[in-house]
Amino acid sequence: MILSLDPHSEVPIYQQIRDRVVEAVAAGELVAGSPLPSTRQLATDLGINFHTVNKSYDLLRSEGLLVLNRRSGALVQRDPGTGPPAAGFTEQWRTRLRTLLAEAVAQGVDGPAALDACAATLASFALPAPLAPPAQSAQPAQSAPAQGETR
Amino acid sequence: MILSLDPHSEVPIYQQIRDRVVEAVAAGELVAGSPLPSTRQLATDLGINFHTVNKSYDLLRSEGLLVLNRRSGALVQRDPGTGPPAAGFTEQWRTRLRTLLAEAVAQGVDGPAALDACAATLASFALPAPLAPPAQSAQPAQSAPAQGETR
Amino acid sequence: MILSLDPHSEVPIYQQIRDRVVEAVAAGELVAGSPLPSTRQLATDLGINFHTVNKSYDLLRSEGLLVLNRRSGALVQRDPGTGPPAAGFTEQWRTRLRTLLAEAVAQGVDGPAALDACAATLASFALPAPLAPPAQSAQPAQSAPAQGETR
Amino acid sequence: MILSLDPHSEVPIYQQIRDRVVEAVAAGELVAGSPLPSTRQLATDLGINFHTVNKSYDLLRSEGLLVLNRRSGALVQRDPGTGPPAAGFTEQWRTRLRTLLAEAVAQGVDGPAALDACAATLASFALPAPLAPPAQSAQPAQSAPAQGETR
DNA sequence: GTGGTCTAGACCACC
DNA sequence: GTGGTCTAGACCACA
């Protein structure tokens, strides 16, 4: 679990951590049962306050992606494509998607180009194969990770 | 220009206003030259302080979507699909897109469904649809220069 | 970071602050990573309202010169001569330059004298000069992509 | 005297008029004694309020570029390169020049390129020849006038 | 402690 | 009438 933060980003650190975990789950790099580092461990690794990591994990738990307990630490709970999205999630997600796409269109990205970007990103999630089969992944990870979140 | 806000939302009011305007521009409901209500007018209509509207308009101006002056009030400056996405815009937009799509995938939306959502949203922008006849135009895609802003 | 304002000037206070910062960046007194005083700190130092400083910093951020966040405060983002002048910047800058030079010529400054003034000012930016030794560097000339054009 | 305004510019109309006149004087298109249209005439030509033109002329008069009287209307008073700049002009002009150049440098324009721009602009003022001698002017008038002023 | 948001009221510049 | 500037005070989110 490599996790790089941008300390100068406008995106809160706890949000950046959360975003990276979500992306790792979507990409299949983290699957149900995968352990995450302890809050204190990750905090020292990243050179940040452990309360911040705590907040990230708590957020992920509230989104149903993590289970936390004293014994086993933090474990990923969901796999990509598993189960139905929680009630109400889809609507608010679509709203945010609409805003994000509108932004691109308004700035001059044309429709097909925007759709291509969506397809490419989704494709990068589709065939992850963490470390089980040989994995014939065509174009796995986008480069340039930074300051995510749609706000 | 109907514009509804959620006063309880996490997202700041000025941001919500900005988002609605961006969507309206993307959807072609607002085109270059379209006037927006005056800051004070919109503020009273929405029951908020005029400084908040001011901030929205200022943000939109910095994104190159609005021109403001004391004579003609606030006017939309860009058309959807017009001009090049300003340098640097595309990268940070893709990062945000990746995070947003990851969120859906992680929550159990499968790839094709997510892509459908993107396509549907983009299609809803493709139609000009101010209130003229249906018009089957596939995609606008002007050429034209511009003068964006990376923010 | 000494910063003197003229409260009786026509130019808004927030604009004066912004101008001083821009000049300091151009002169190399502020480089990427340099911290600026906190908004409230600078406000009390200058005897003005913190919202006014806020607006200055916000403007500088929108110009890509500053990054702001709750952790590290305000940090300079660009170095002089670094990166490309954003699309559209050069044209509107040239227009303003033309007006300013015309003003001098119309007031009786002759061409060579005006050009000398430009050269002298630019030379004063060329020296890094934070407060290290004199350093006889003639001109820095970073990478800087094209954009020449005499029109 | 063609004089095009941008009604959507952020620059006040009276300022735009003033800027165009200053540039015409610098370029030698207007010389001492040249008449300007009457305020009412110019106002109707431009489709604006005559008070606005009045303000422009008044500003130009206060800058010593125009003389106004009831009989002869508005007459240009100065030639480019004529006489010394009024006391105090040079200092405040240099301040504005410094700010303008700093802006370019901070945005990534390198020193030589900026100086070239200055030289080119000044050269365009140098050889005007309004309509007296045959005029061998190589490149008299810039095109694209718009939204001037250094603020 | 930092920056960010929202409210509020005053005054100014422009047209 | 419009937008713009400045002041002021309150509260929140982040670290």
Is the distance between the Cβ of C49 and the closest atom of strand E smaller than 7 Å? no
- Chain D CB contacts of C151 under 8 Å are 120, 142
Q: Does D126 touch chain C (CB under 8 A)?
A: yes
- Above pLDDT 70, what percent of chain B? 83
Cα(B75)–Cα(B73) distance, integer angstroms? 6
Q: Does D91 touch chain B (CB under 8 A)?
A: no
Average pLDDT, chain D: 83
Residue A127's pLDDT is 64
Cα(C59)–Cα(B151) distance, integer angstroms? 10
- Chain A CB contacts of B4 under 8 Å are none
Confidence band, pLDDT 50/70/90 cuts, at residue B84: confident
Pick the CATH number of D8-83 from 1.20.1090.10, 1.10.3470.10, 1.10.1270.20, 1.10.10.10: 1.10.10.10
Q: What is the pLDDT of residues D20-78, one digit of tens each?
A: 999 999 999 998 889 999 999 999 999 999 999 999 999 999 999 999 988 888 999 87
Residues in contact with D12: Cβ distance below 8 Å, sequence separation at least 6, in sequence order: B70
- Chain C CB contacts of D82 under 8 Å are 108
Q: What is the pLDDT of residues D73-98, one digit of tens each?
A: 899 987 776 677 787 899 999 999 99
CA dihedral B12, B14, B17, B23 (to 10 degrees): -80
Strand partners of residue D73: D69
Is the distance between the Cβ of C69 and the closest atom of strand E smaller than 7 Å? yes
Q: How many residues does chain B have?
A: 151
**B68–D10 C-beta distance less than 8 A:** yes
Which chains touch B (3+ CB pairs under 8 A)? A, C, D
Q: Stated in angstroms, how far is C70 CA from F13 C1'?
A: 9
- Scanning the structure block, which residue is given the tokens 């796995």? A140
Separate counts of helices (H) and strands (E) for chain B? 5, 3
Strand partners of residue D67: D75
The residue ranges of chain C whose pLDDT is under 50 are 130-151
**D7–B68 C-beta distance less than 8 A:** no
Q: Stated in angstroms, how far is B144 CA from E5 C1'?
A: 37
- D118 touches C115 (CB < 8 A): yes
The average pLDDT across B1-27 equals: 91
Cα(C123)–Cα(C129) distance, integer angstroms? 12
Task: Write phi, then psi, for D8 (nearest 5 degrees).
Answer: -95, -5
Q: Is A120 left (phi over 0), alpha (psi -120 to 50) or beta?
A: alpha
The residue ranges of chain A whose pLDDT is under 50 are 133-151
Cα(B24)–Cα(B26) distance, integer angstroms? 5
Minimal-distance CA residue of chain B relative to C87: B147
Residue A51's pLDDT is 93
Residue C150's pLDDT is 36
Residue B128's pLDDT is 58
The minimum CA-CA distance between D32 and chain C, rounded to whole Å, is: 11
Which chains touch A (3+ CB pairs under 8 A)? B, C
Q: What is the pLDDT of residues B132-149, one digit of tens each?
A: 444 444 444 333 333 333
- Chain B CB contacts of A150 under 8 Å are 96, 99-100
Q: Does D72 touch chain C (CB under 8 A)?
A: no
Say yes or no to pLDDT of B111 above 50.
Answer: yes
Is the distance between the Cβ of D15 and the closest atom of strand E smaller than 7 Å? yes
- CA neighbours closer than 13 Å in the CB half-sphere of residue C88: 15
Rounded to whole angstroms, what are the CA distances from B141 to A110, B33, B86?
A: 6, 18, 16
* CATH 1.10.10.10 domain locations along chain C: 13-76
Q: Does D7 touch chain B (CB under 8 A)?
A: yes
Which residue is the nearest neighbor of E13, CA to C1'? B70
Rounded to whole angstroms, what are the CA distances from B12 to B5, C57, C82?
A: 10, 19, 34
More confident residue, D41 or B130: D41
More confident residue, B30 or A135: B30
CATH class belonging to A10-83: mainly alpha
Confidence band, pLDDT 50/70/90 cuts, at residue B102: very high
CATH of domain C13-76: 1.10.10.10
CATH of domain B1-130+137-151: 1.10.10.10
Residue B81's pLDDT is 73
Q: Stated in angstroms, how far is C115 CA from F6 C1'?
A: 38
Q: Stated in angstroms, how far is C63 CA from E5 C1'?
A: 21
Strand partners of residue A75: A35, A67
**B147–C92 C-beta distance less than 8 A:** yes
Which positions of chain E lie under 7 Å from any protein Cβ? 1-9, 13-15
Count CB-CB contacts under 10 A for residue D88.
8
**B121–A101 C-beta distance less than 8 A:** yes
Crossing angle (nearest 10°) for helices C13-26 and C50-62: 50
- B42 touches B52 (CB < 8 A): no
